[in-house]
Amino acid sequence: MIEGLALANDGRVYKLDGKPALIRKDIPDGKVALLIGGGSGHEPLFHGFVGKNMGDGAACGNVFAAPSPDVIAAAAKAVHRGKGVLFLYGNYAGDNMNFDMAVELLEDDGIEVRTVRVCDDVAAAPPERMHDRRGIAGDIYMIKVAGGAASELDTLDEVERVARKAQGWVRSMGVAVSAGSIPETGKLTFELGDDEIEVGMGAHGEAGIARQKLKSADAIADELMDKILADLPFARGDEVALMINNLGATTMMEMLIVNRRIRAILEREGISVHRTDVGTWLTVQEMAGFSVTLMKLDDELKHYLDMPAESLGYSRM
Amino acid sequence: MIETLDANAAREMMRSVAQSLIDQTDVLTEADLTIGDGDHGVGMRRGFEAALEALDAGAAESAEAAYKAVGTAILSNTGGAAGAVFGTLFRAGSKAFAASEVIDDASFAMALEEGLAAVLKRGGVTEGQKTMVDALAPAARAARAAVGKGLAAATAAATQGALDGVEASKAMIATTGKARSVGERSIGYPDPGAISVSLILKAMQDFTARA
């Protein structure tokens, strides 16, 4: 998969020798490096987001499992250009432990590392325990913003500051209408009846906060937005970026129907949309469903979010 | 009964542990599907297959080296939380055999204690959160209590401690890891990582119980 992905990048990205990691070929000297990563099975996240103004490298784990510390450390060394490395990944126990161990390995080599964990899933924990929330599709906006900041800003401190601002301002929630599966076992990640939906499930098919009877796209959008809006650090007059992410087997038509409803809700709340992204970025192995992400914007975040990105998974100009 | 394991015997025991875990992949997969994402079995299999390779590759220099080789193989190949936690368990635990050079009841108990301390620190968890620690901690206490009775008795006591922990984990609500999102729905099911701990110790018990 990783070799195929490297080839699909047409020479702009290479696979690290002997390690499941992808590295940008043209990382400028003296650049603050951005290393992203996590388990596979969420294509194109994370390894599809390596490229100009995006991640400088990605450390890849097996399906739904964090990469090991030696893979992360090798990838960090490969992207390091003397200004330190920012680690950006989803907040999961496995990722946290493995990336932290890599930090310890890199300290021995004198490479400075900072860590920002994506914790955008409002379904995973109440606001006062944001550090317990897992990272879902907010990853994509976080990578986009941090990637832009790492291209333009001169110090690891500054890049970290921007990434932390984005971390504090991004919120997501998802819904599944059918479960995902794990290729190695062929098993579904949970059992869901034909007429049921799982609300607020995790990016590996972890169960959500509620199981309900199937209802209309509008009603589902209302439920997700109720939860996200209650959590947002937003007020009337704020501007946001809006992402509707396909978890795998949802059609564009369905997501556009949801988008229509979400825009009506945001208009009612007096929140304007600076940009909309509708597509497939964080998938869960065959799962049908979608997630909604909102990120509050100021001029700085807008600037980095709108920088042209060149990567296989995200290349909006 | 085997009461002390030299380097070669330690390696043989670790081979036996690895094979046992590989053989029980499906048990762990089923347990993890209930309250996790179902990949614990395949992850542990990957790690212990690599451990077998590592044990076969080099001569057994010491009990410490054999134990550490298993931890390193798991850390590099399992991935995920399981790789970090079980890799840490064996790597940190290996230090207990540095002084004694053999695995006996005292160094075995110390290996569990050192491993537990390192896992608690790495994972930032405490007992009662429905993790492998809920089998490891009672196992370490039981092994400590059995020091003086010989290695076979110590591994048997540790195994019983772990099994009791697996049983107790059923009543716990997961508050860390991926199972956390299941919340109260995790009640009634044992923690998959705790089951792995019990399988590892049971394989050690079976090995040391051989005539």
B173 and chain A in contact, CB less than 8 A: no
A185, B26 Cβ separation under 8 angstroms = no
A212 and chain B in contact, CB less than 8 A: no
Minimum Cα–Cα distance from B36: chain A residue: A206
Question: In the structure encoding, which two tokens stand for residue B30, read together?
Answer: 């089923």
Strand ranges (DSSP E) for A107-253? 113-118, 170-178, 181-182, 187-188, 196-199, 210-213, 239-246
pLDDT of residue A53: 96
**Among B68, B37, B197, B180, residue whose Cα is nearest residue B133:** B197
**Among A202, A204, A148, A196, residue whose Cα is nearest residue A172:** A202
Question: What are the tens digits of pLDDT across the range B155-210?
Answer: 999 999 999 999 999 999 888 777 776 777 788 999 999 999 999 999 999 999 98
Domain membership of residue B2 (yes or no) is: no
Q: Do A94 and B81 touch (CB under 8 A)?
A: yes
Domain that holds residue B187: 7-209
Q: Which portions of chain A are predicted below pLDDT 50? A: none
Question: In the structure encoding, which two tokens stand for residue A299, read together?
Answer: 């001029």
pLDDT of residue B181: 67
pLDDT of residue A36: 98
B22 and chain A in contact, CB less than 8 A: no
Q: Do B181 and A206 touch (CB under 8 A)?
A: yes
A218, A175 Cβ separation under 8 angstroms = no
Domain membership of residue B115 (yes or no) is: yes
A202 and chain B in contact, CB less than 8 A: yes
Q: Which of A182, A202, A208 sits opposite B38 (nearest CB)?
A: A182
Bridge partners (DSSP) of residue B118 are none
| DSSP 8-state symbol, A310 | B
As a whole number of Å, the end-to-end CA separation of chain A is 26
DSSP B102-116: SB-HHHHHHHHHHHH
Give the closest-approach CA distance of A39 to chain B in angstroms.
8
Domain membership of residue B108 (yes or no) is: yes
Count Cα atoms within 13 angstroms, Cβ side, for A5.
26
ipTM of the complex: 0.90
Q: Do A65 and B79 touch (CB under 8 A)?
A: yes
As a whole number of Å, the end-to-end CA separation of chain B is 5
**Among A73, A81, A3, residue whose Cα is nearest residue A37:** A73
Count Cα atoms within 13 angstroms, Cβ side, for A196.
11
In whole angstroms, what is the distance from residue A268 CA to residue B210 CA? 74
**Among B144, B134, B86, B136, residue whose Cα is nearest residue B116:** B136
Contacts of B33 in chain A (CB under 8 A): 187, 189
Which domain CATH number covers B166?
A: 1.25.40.340
Domain membership of residue B27 (yes or no) is: yes
A97 and chain B in contact, CB less than 8 A: yes
Cα A247-A168-A46 angle, rounded to 5 deg: 35
Q: Do B182 and A207 touch (CB under 8 A)?
A: yes
In whole angstroms, what is the distance from residue A293 CA to residue B25 CA? 37
Question: In the structure encoding, which two tokens stand for residue B73, read together?
Answer: 């193989």
Please identify which residue in the block is written with the tokens 């410490």: B64
In whole angstroms, what is the distance from residue A172 CA to residue A192 CA? 22
Question: In the structure encoding, which two tokens stand for residue A99, read together?
Answer: 């990336």
DSSP β-ladder status, A288-297 and A239-246: antiparallel
Interface test with B, best of A187, A190, A284, A285 (most B CBs within 10 A): A187
Phi, psi of B59 (to 5 degrees): -65, 150
Contacts of A63 in chain B (CB under 8 A): 39
Bridge partners (DSSP) of residue A187 are A182
Q: Do A67 and B43 touch (CB under 8 A)?
A: no
In whole angstroms, what is the distance from residue B175 CA to residue A240 CA? 32
The CATH code for residues A168-301 is 3.30.1180.20
pTM: 0.93
B161, B139 Cβ separation under 8 angstroms = yes
Those of residues 80-139 in B touching chain A at CB distance below 8 A are 80-85, 122-123
Is residue A67 classed as helix, strand or coil in its secondary structure? coil
Phi, psi of B51 (to 5 degrees): -65, -40
**Among A48, A37, A51, residue whose Cα is nearest residue A317:** A51
Q: Which of A64, A101, A207 sits opposite B39 (nearest CB)?
A: A64
A206 and chain B in contact, CB less than 8 A: yes
Bridge partners (DSSP) of residue A177 are none
DSSP β-ladder status, A85-90 and A113-118: parallel
A62 and chain B in contact, CB less than 8 A: yes
In whole angstroms, what is the distance from residue B18 CA to residue B91 CA? 15
Question: In the structure encoding, which two tokens stand for residue A194, read together?
Answer: 């034909």
Q: Do A65 and B181 touch (CB under 8 A)?
A: no
A57, A22 Cβ separation under 8 angstroms = yes
A289, A251 Cβ separation under 8 angstroms = no
> H/E element holding A34?
strand A33-40
B75, B84 Cβ separation under 8 angstroms = yes
Those of residues 119-158 in A touching chain B at CB distance below 8 A are 123-124, 132, 134
B61 to A8, B51, B67, B99, B101: CA distances (angstroms): 46, 16, 11, 14, 10
How many domains would you assign to chain B? Answer: 1
Phi, psi of A140 (to 5 degrees): -70, -45
**Among A179, A169, A100, residue whose Cα is nearest residue A138:** A169
Q: Which portions of chain B are predicted below pLDDT 70? A: 59-60, 181, 211
